[in-house]
Every structure is written in structure tokens, then in C-alpha cells.
């Protein structure tokens, strides 16, 4: 197997394995459906281009998160909305059908997180995906203490907004 | 709403983007991602193209003037300076953009570099439009065969109007970016 084929295979495996992570990140930064598809493509291209220089010094998941978030926050194109709105959450994700209350709270949480600033959005998303403070610090480049205090502030603010 | 309680629910949900025509579907053709260009690559190529057009225009304007003697020397020199400035600015922007490696820098760094690039781009636009107005207004007077003094008035008026508009646009952008950079530099002292 030559080097290019091996790289392609590795890339396909990464996309298949981390599709959920990439999709969730794009979903959080997208303003509508077309934007979501553009962001997904952007992340994939940047992952492909970065794969050659990825030396495995960090975990693959950390690298995926970093590249995906960086691609979304720095999308170098002026985006014009095509649809009026992003599809509602239930059309994209499988919400719990047996627990309407929980589905409602998830929907509300998604709406509130979507309104956060780019870095705060990245922090809360990784925290929700159960990354440790050290992993979040490594992806974002913030100190562990800074991550902890920012997350506490964001959670407090989200809870307040949800109550009001 | 207790966010800690919702954490597990969040992890249990699956994104099914086939319903959005699937971002992944665009990559379904074998090796399609190898041929695709990122928004950064496309912008980089555009900046270099604009720069090439600017430098080519210097030769074009000089040749045109050599043949037809369309412009006075002062105006020709101003046009050459304009195209040189714009050509160099576009090369500087392309260089700054290519230095952003999204796959290796941290999120805070990517955000900082992106914001700085946007500031630079905005300022280059302001410089470009101001110089352009400065050049076009006297050109208009020249072609209307007005007195020489009006060319000077036109250039000054162009400079003032162009700068005023540019600085007004820049003010809002600067405030937004200042907020975002100060947020990035917040070290979380309350911990």
C-alpha cells in the first residue's frame, strides 16, 4: 500500500469514526442548513490537509476537536443565508421520544448554546461531550483554571437565561 | 434547567445530517476531499490574483499613456503608486493568511489570528477605497477639462470623504474585535 492510499484510508476511518463530533461542532456554528454543509466540508478539507503534518503528539480526538472548531470559527467566506432558519433540532438529531420534558430541555439548551460567543460555545460543547478540563485546555490553549472558571460562568449564565 | 443533568442526554443524541442533505454526502465521491479547496485556500488564491492584476495594471497604464498621452505625469505617478500599494497589501494579506495553520494551533490562537487577519483586511479595504476615491475624483475633473486647481480640490475632497467613511466603518469593527480579544485574554481570575 503506498503512502497516499494509506493516508486516504486513515482519513476515511477518521471521518467515519468522528462523524458525530464533526457534525455536532458544525451544527453549533451553522446559521442554516447550507451553512452546515459548507462547514462540514471545510472541516473535512482542513482535516485532510492537516493529516500529513499530524504527528500524533496529541490524541486524535483532541486534534479533531481543534481542527473542527478552528475551521468553523475562522470560516473565511462571507456567508449569505439561503434558508430562513437552521432546521429545528429534532429534524437533525434523534431526541428522546419517550421523555418530552427532556427533549424540550435539550432543545432549549441547544438554542441557548447557539447564542454564545465562539470560544464559550467551544468550551461548553467539549464539556458536554465529557472531555476533561485538561483536554479542553489543550484544545483551546487556555489554562486549566481558566477553563474551569469560564465553564462555571457559562453554566451559570445558561441556567439563568433558561429560567428567565 | 440543570445543565449537569442534561449532559448525559446530550451525549446520547445522535446527529443525523442525512436529513440536511448531509455534509458528509459531498465527500462521498472517492478522493473528492483531495480536489476541494478550503475557504482559506480560495481567499489566498483570490488575494494573489488581485495582486497580480494590480502589478499588471501598472504596465498597462504606463503603455496606454506612452501611446496616447492620456494623463499628466502627476496623475500617472499617482496611479502607479496606487497599484503598487494595493499589490503589496494583497501580498501581505495572503502571507498573513497562509501563516494560519488551523490544524495545529489552539482554538484561542486560531480565534486571535483570525480576528487579526480580519482587522488587517478591513484596514486594507479602507486604504484601498480611500486611495481609489482620491484617484478617481481628480481624474473625473481632469476628463471634464476643469482647471488644475480643481484637481487638487478634488483629491483633497476625495481623501476627506474616503477617510471619513473608512474610519466610521472601522470604528464599529474595532470595538467588536477589542471585546473579543479582551475576552480571549481574560485569565479567569475568579477561580
For the stretch B42-82, pLDDT in tens is 889 999 999 999 999 998 888 877 776 667 888 888 889 99
pLDDT digits (tens, 9 = 90+) for B4-26: 777 777 777 666 666 555 556 66
For B103, name the nearest residue in chain A, comparing CA atoms only. A67
pLDDT of residue B144 exceeding 70: no
pLDDT of residue A15 exceeding 90: no
pLDDT digits (tens, 9 = 90+) for B154-166: 767 777 877 787 6
Percent of chain A with pLDDT over 70: 84
**In b/e form, how buried is each residue of B148-175, taking b as 16+ CB within 10 angstroms?**
eebbeebbeebeeebbeebeeebeebee
- Cell of residue A136, nine digits: 479542553
Average pLDDT of span B119-132:
86
> Using the beta-carbon criterion (under 8 Å), do A44 and B101 form an inter-chain contact?
no
> Using the beta-carbon criterion (under 8 Å), do B23 and A37 form an inter-chain contact?
yes
Whole-angstrom Cα distance, residue A162 to residue B117?
35
> Using the beta-carbon criterion (under 8 Å), do A41 and B113 form an inter-chain contact?
no
Option in B23, B188, B191 nearest A40 (CB): B23
Which residues neighbour B12 within 8 Å (Cβ) at sequence distance 6 or greater?
Answer: A96
Average pLDDT of span A120-140:
91
pLDDT of residue B191 exceeding 50: no
Among residues B42, B119, B123, B44, which one has the least CA distance to residue B85? B123
Q: Which residue has the higher pLDDT, A99 or B125?
A: B125
> Residue A9: what pLDDT?
86
Residue B153: CA count within 13 A, CB half-sphere: 7
Percent of chain B with pLDDT over 90: 17
Whole-angstrom Cα distance, residue B24 to residue B62?
51
Cite the DSSP H helix spans in chain A: 3-29, 33-51, 60-73, 89-92, 100-114, 118-128, 133-140, 144-163
Is ipTM > 0.95 here?
no
Which residues neighbour A20 within 8 Å (Cβ) at sequence distance 6 or greater?
Answer: B14, B15
Average pLDDT of span A13-18:
88
Burial class (CB in 10 A: 0-12, 13-18, 19+), A13: exposed
Q: Which residue has the higher pLDDT, B47 or B33?
A: B47
Whole-angstrom Cα distance, residue A11 to residue A24?
19
pTM for the model stands at 0.79
Identify all chain A residues contacting B97, using CB atoms and an 8 Å cutoff.
Answer: 76
Contacts within 8 Å (CB) and 24+ apart, B72-77: B72/B142, B75/B138, B75/B139, B75/B142, B75/B151
Whole-angstrom Cα distance, residue B102 to residue B75?
43
> Residue A115: what pLDDT?
83
Among B residues 12-31, those touching chain A with beta carbons less than 8 Å apart: 12-17, 19-24, 26-27, 31
Amino acid at each position: 500500500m503506498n503512502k497516499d492510499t494509506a493516508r486516504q484510508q486513515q482519513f476515511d476511518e477518521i471521518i467515519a469514526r468522528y462523524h458525530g463530533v464533526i457534525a455536532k461542532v458544525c451544527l453549533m456554528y451553522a446559521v442554516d442548513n447550507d451553512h452546515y454543509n459548507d462547514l462540514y466540508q471545510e472541516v473535512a478539507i482542513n482535516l485532510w490537509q492537516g493529516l500529513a503534518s499530524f504527528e500524533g503528539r496529541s490524541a486524535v480526538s483532541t486534534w479533531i476537536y481543534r481542527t473542527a472548531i478552528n475551521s468553523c470559527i475562522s470560516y473565511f467566506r462571507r456567508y449569505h443565508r439561503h434558508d430562513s432558519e437552521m432546521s429545528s433540532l429534532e429534524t437533525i438529531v434523534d431526541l428522546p421520544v419517550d421523555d418530552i420534558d427532556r427533549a424540550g430541555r435539550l432543545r432549549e439548551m441547544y438554542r441557548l448554546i447557539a447564542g454564545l460567543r465562539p470560544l464559550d460555545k467551544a468550551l461548553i460543547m467539549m464539556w458536554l461531550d465529557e472531555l476533561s478540563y485538561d483536554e479542553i485546555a489543550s484544545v483551546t490553549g487556555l489554562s486549566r483554571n481558566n477553563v474551569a472558571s469560564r465553564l462555571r460562568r457559562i453554566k451559570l449564565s445558561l441556567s439563568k437565561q433558561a429560567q428567565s | 434547567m440543570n445543565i449537569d443533568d442534561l449532559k448525559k442526554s446530550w451525549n446520547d443524541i445522535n446527529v443525523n445530517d442525512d436529513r440536511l442533505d448531509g455534509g458528509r454526502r459531498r465527500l462521498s465521491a472517492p478522493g473528492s476531499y483531495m480536489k476541494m479547496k478550503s475557504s482559506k485556500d480560495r481567499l489566498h488564491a483570490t488575494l494573489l490574483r488581485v495582486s497580480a492584476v494590480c502589478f499588471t495594471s501598472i504596465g498597462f497604464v504606463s503603455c496606454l499613456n506612452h501611446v496616447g498621452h492620456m494623463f499628466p505625469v502627476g496623475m500617472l505617478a499617482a496611479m502607479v503608486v496606487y497599484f503598487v500599494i494595493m499589490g503589496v497589501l494583497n501580498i501581505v494579506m495572503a502571507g498573513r493568511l497562509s501563516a494560519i495553520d488551523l490544524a495545529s494551533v489552539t482554538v484561542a490562537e486560531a480565534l486571535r489570528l483570525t480576528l487579526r487577519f480580519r482587522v488587517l483586511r478591513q484596514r486594507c479595504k479602507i486604504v484601498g477605497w480611500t486611495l481609489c476615491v482620491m484617484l478617481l475624483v481628480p481624474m473625473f475633473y481632469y476628463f471634464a477639462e476643469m482647471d488644475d486647481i480643481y484637481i487638487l480640490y478634488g483629491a483633497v475632497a476625495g481623501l476627506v470623504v474616503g477617510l471619513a467613511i473608512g474610519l466610521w466603518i472601522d470604528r464599529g469593527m474595532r470595538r467588536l474585535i477589542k471585546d473579543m480579544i479582551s475576552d480571549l485574554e481574560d485569565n479567569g481570575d475568579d477561580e
